[in-house]
Homo-oligomer: A and B are copies of this chain.
Amino acid sequence: MKPLILVTNDDGMFAPGIKALVEVAQKLGEVVVVAPNSPQSGQGHAITLTEPLRLHKVDVFGEIPAYECSGTPVDCVKLAKHVILKDRKIDLCVSGINHGSNASINIIYSGTMSAAMEASIEGIPSIGFSYLDFSFEADFEGCQYYAKRIIQQALNKKLGTAQLLNVNIPALPLDDLKGVKVCRQAEGTWKEEFAEAQDPRGQSYYWLTGSFGIETEDPTTDIWALNNGYVSVVPSMHDLTDHKSLPGLKHLEKL
């Protein structure tokens, strides 16, 4: 029996990235697609509590069942598991291919990675893919090459104890990619600003802007791997406990 693969993303059903990922996944298993009906970049791990969610079956990928959801990427995964595929075992969730990097701290803002993380919280092995090329005309050949091989490893249960992978692919032609580096999330923050302007009624508004461009010489990090032409693979997790800081807080128990 073919493995059941859930495909999702945060850019919506018509992004070239999800099409590229569906093309890979359908060669490796039975595919069901559940994706947001509008772009959801930056939605992080948001869920919809105060509004109802809509779900519509759409004909985007031919024979492959595809559902548009009115919620966030995490909502998509919850609806996939608890409604659409309720009585079935999902063998793997793949999210993306995101248009833009989710390396370093970007994992935490990313709808693509949060969808993948939600699946892993639910016990489904999961992989998020992101491509460092924002263009909707981007060439996905390199992404597809590595996505296929990494998904095969996951389906063959060759990921050890890892439940969630954050995979980023440099914006390079396949022949220029140097291979895969297994690495850790680089420490980094956005250099942030807000553009302030006035609307037609003279009221101020603020619009988030900023740049992310950390450099690091540390070859154990995802940023180094990407800057040096490697596909970065970071095993990630949802236990946010800062275990190393536990001993230094014991005195709080005497408050």
Q: Is A24 an interface residue (CB 8 A)?
A: no
In the complex formed, the residue of B with least CB distance to A107 is B240
Contacting pair B45 A250 (CB below 8 A):
no
Question: Which of B48, B185, B253 is within 8 Å of A42, CB to CB?
Answer: B48
A 165-197 binary contact with B (CB < 8 Å = 1; else 0): 110000000000001111111010100111011
- Contacts of A205 on B, CB cut-off 8 Å? 52-54
Contacting pair B208 A47 (CB below 8 A):
yes
Contacting pair A189 B122 (CB below 8 A):
yes
Give Cα distance in the complex from A226 to B98, angstroms.
39
Q: Is A150 an interface residue (CB 8 A)?
A: yes
Q: Is A1 an interface residue (CB 8 A)?
A: no
Q: Is A121 an interface residue (CB 8 A)?
A: yes
In the complex formed, the residue of B with least CB distance to A230 is B253
- Contacts of A254 on B, CB cut-off 8 Å? 179
Q: Is A9 an interface residue (CB 8 A)?
A: no
Q: Is A251 an interface residue (CB 8 A)?
A: yes
- Contacts of A251 on B, CB cut-off 8 Å? 153, 158
Contacting pair A192 B52 (CB below 8 A):
no
- Min C-beta distance of A144 to chain B, whole Å: 13
Given known contacts A108-B117, A161-B244, is B252 in contact with A233 (CB within 8 Å)?
yes
Contacting pair B158 A206 (CB below 8 A):
no
